[in-house]
């Protein structure tokens, strides 16, 4: 299938590369932001195991691969939209836990906002690609 190269193509490609990279880092690096997020979610639910970060990293890796593949071939069924929705939900939860529950306006408002803004851009890009699928 030949895809038109436009802004949506580059947005999807950028998300795919980011998710592939974050997934690999999450699997290989225990101290990644993804791993820290998973440990904080585990603490909220009273668990101390490290299974969640690895599962989330694998989901992101798969979503990145699906996003990249879908640029060049048709992905059957609703696999891609469902994986995008799962990542969107987890990303929104991560933002809420990291920037609202853990450190609201810390260390100061401008630093907090400069760290929150890219996360919101990613969340918005996920929503745009999800809606386009």
Query: For residues 111 and 131, what is the distance between their CA atoms, to the nearest angstrom?
Result: 31
pLDDT of residue 113: 92
Q: Nearest-CA neighbor of 22 among 51, 63, 75?
A: 63
Q: How do residues 19-41 score in pLDDT, each as one tens digit?
A: 999 888 888 776 656 666 666 66
Residues of the chain short of pLDDT 50, as ranges, are 1
pLDDT of residue 68: 92
DSSP letter at 49 equals -
Q: Looking up tokens 């490609």, which residue turns up?
A: 13
E strand or H helix at 130? helix 109-132
pLDDT of residue 29: 73
pLDDT of residue 42: 65
Helix and strand numbers (H, E) in the chain are: 5, 0
pLDDT of residue 32: 57
Please state the domain extents for the chain: 7-132
Quick check: 122 and 77 in contact, CB under 8 A?
no
pLDDT of residue 45: 64
C-alpha distances in angstroms, 130 versus 1, 19, 36, 54? 20, 14, 26, 24
C-alpha distances in angstroms, 77 versus 7, 74, 88? 24, 9, 19
pLDDT of residue 49: 54
């Amino acid at each position: 299938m030949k895809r038109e190269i436009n802004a949506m193509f580059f947005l999807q490609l950028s998300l795919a590369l980011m998710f592939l990279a974050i997934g690999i880092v999450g699997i290989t690096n225990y101290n990644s932001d993804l791993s820290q997020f998973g440990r904080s979610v585990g603490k909220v639910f009273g668990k101390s195991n490290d299974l969640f970060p690895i599962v989330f990293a694998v989901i992101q890796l798969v979503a990145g691969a699906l996003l990249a593949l879908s640029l060049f071939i048709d992905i059957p069924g609703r696999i891609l939209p469902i994986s995008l929705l799962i990542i969107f939900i987890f990303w929104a939860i991560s933002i809420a836990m990291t920037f609202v529950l853990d450190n609201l306006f810390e260390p100061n408002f401008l630093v907090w906002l400069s760290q929150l803004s890219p996360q919101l851009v990613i969340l918005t890009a996920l929503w745009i690609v999800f809606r386009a699928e």
